[in-house]
Chains A and B, each alone.
Chain A
Amino acid sequence: MSEPLLRVEDLHKEYREGRTTIHAVNGVSFEVYPGEAVGLVGESGCGKTTTARCILRLEKPTRGRILFEGTDLTTLSRGQVRARRKDFQMVFQDPNESLNPRLSIRRTLREPLQLHGLYSSDQQLSEAVSRVTLEEEHLDRLPHQLSGGQKQRVGVARAMMTTPRLVILDEPTSSLDMSLRIHVIVLLKRLQRELNLSYVFISHDLSTIRHLCDRVLVMYLGRIVEQGRTEDVFEDPTHVYTKALLSAIPIPDPSVKRSRLLLKGETPTARLLVPGCPLQDRCAFVIDECRHPLPEYDLGNGHRVACRLAKEHPAYRTVAPTSTAA
């Protein structure tokens, strides 16, 4: 396999809140290869957005390395990071908040190029809008003159202006209606192919992840509890959390009847670092073993699961070599 474009190694991010420490991200490691779409999935507070913000250096990680094309971003100065940002861009969740309401679309799209001292021709701008299926006439509008779906596409177009290698998308479809979502996903897939992009796609929306991503990382309480090829994780979820998450999603088909695996209670806050599985207080299958540091079990093809039940999986052979678990 080729060299990864991005390699995150043992990433930690802690916040101080008075006398307590919040462990938002707690030892996360993964790679993103060129042209690959990796989904980072989990519920609120699992640390997926913090992970993304660390990669973009919008936050400084407490510990760990973030290698982008071999360069450790955590060691760069602010200025150096800014210069590299041309190669990694972000699409935000809410276009209403991420677009400057006073800037025309033309200026919005020009800005990222200007920041890097690049020139933007009219042709570049009209290409940029047509790439995201907007019209040239939209260039002279202000954000409030566009619909939600159009604004989201401006956000996508802006991220593509500097021809980045990696685009991090933070819930780009969650504010959109269902009928718009499929259009945005198709658009993102096409852009990925045309511009040879890698994506880190952050979402709680598993259906979108399933249709867009090649690989998926399931996060819970600051840790990756299961990862693998999208097909493997969705067809053969093995961590109790992944199973619960997938079974909780209502299926729009009355002929499908499923049993639901319910978790007890709610996600606890990431204040107390407990050894072992982060799900231990909500899991119905918890035993003493789960309260001790646990490895990741390797089920082949990069399908790795930090749950003791993975040992009973027919594909289980070994413990994964790079243990990232606590």
Chain B
Amino acid sequence: MEKSELLHLQVVVELPYRWAAGRNGSLMLKALRDEKKIIGNRCPECRKVYVPPRAVCGPCFIAPDETVELPVTGTLAGYSVVNYPFIDPETGEKRPVPYTYGYIQLDGCDSYLSHFVNETDPARLSPGLRVEAVFKPDGERVGQMQDILHFKVSEEKGG
């Protein structure tokens, strides 16, 4: 059979989901929305501070029991400047590029936070750069991670 005779079915699926954030996740998302604060929690065994806060520390397999308010400043641990187009499963639309996908280690936190960074020139980015969270204005925050608009590169010099 000729290639041109081979058929396929093309379908766009709209499939709504409703994901529970849970107690710990809700604590963090509410703090983002209402107070522009970032909340994590600490494992009593290994003393690691996690963000997002969670019900269990995987390596120790016990519940972090201490809520920790983290600063909105941190260090860029790793990053990539995304240049290629793809369909965002959240919206069904192409996600705008370029954008910088960064792993931010908030001061005093042991895990990272993945988020956007407002600099897309690789020459101006480097692991160790100081960054700071920029929040959406009051009234526009709804209790989701995107209540932080992005992290901006700070003026202060990083290590």
Bound pair (A, B): no
* Chain B interface residues toward A at CB < 8 A: none
* Chain A interface residues toward B at CB < 8 A: none
